[in-house]
């Protein structure tokens, strides 16, 4: 079931991400809250325990690793992003550049995925709860 859910989850996650980025700063939205971020959190929280685990983040990463080499290069990411109809090349490129934290031309589990997890885990307890995710998402989407 996981293999069926991950691509669907990934598509929904990224689709909502791109919509949220386009809607950032939309009139009526509180600067410290985001319905998009709350929806993303619920979609990514596969076991619905109220916490995003590394395994859940890793599932989204693996959905983009088309050749299963444990790295997602820029071409692979942009190709998958656009073929899924998640957004245009520029949105894919922007997201890729932010996720490639060490700027080595590929999103990898170490260090990139670990850094993304650390970014969202504001209190450093190893758990990403919804409020942490929302706060960091608002910062990310407005920068």
pTM over 0.75: no
Report yes or no: 122 and 111 within 8 Å, Cβ to Cβ. no
Residue 74 has pLDDT above 80, yes or no: yes
pLDDT at 43: 78
Rounded to whole angstroms, the Cα distance separating 76 from 64 reads 8
CATH architecture of 2-141: Orthogonal Bundle (1.10)
- According to the 3-state scheme, what is the secondary structure of 12-57? HHHHHHHHHHHHCCCCCCCCCCCHHHHHHHHHHCCCCCCEECHHHH
pLDDT tens-digit series, residues 2-15: 444 454 455 445 44
Q: What is the pLDDT of residues 85-97, one digit of tens each?
A: 766 788 778 878 8
17-67 tens-digit pLDDT? 444 444 444 434 455 787 767 877 887 889 999 999 989 988 778 888 999
Q: At 47, phi and psi to the nearest 5?
A: -90, 5
Q: Which two tokens stand for residue 44?
A: 């990514």
């Amino acid at each position: 079931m996981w293999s069926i859910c991950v691509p669907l989850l990934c598509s929904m996650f990224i689709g909502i991400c791109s919509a949220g980025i386009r809607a950032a700063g939309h009139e009526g939205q509180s600067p410290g809250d985001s319905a998009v971020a709350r929806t993303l959190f619920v979609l990514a929280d596969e076991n619905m325990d109220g916490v995003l685990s590394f395994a859940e983040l890793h599932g989204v990463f693996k959905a983009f690793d088309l050749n299963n080499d444990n790295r997602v290069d820029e071409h692979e990411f942009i190709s998958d992003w656009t073929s899924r109809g998640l957004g245009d090349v520029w949105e894919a490129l922007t997201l890729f550049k932010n996720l490639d934290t060490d700027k080595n031309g590929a999103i990898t589990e170490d260090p990139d995925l670990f850094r993304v997890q650390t970014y969202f885990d504001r209190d450093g307890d190893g758990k990403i709860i919804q409020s942490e995710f929302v706060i960091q998402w608002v910062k990310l989407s407005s920068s």
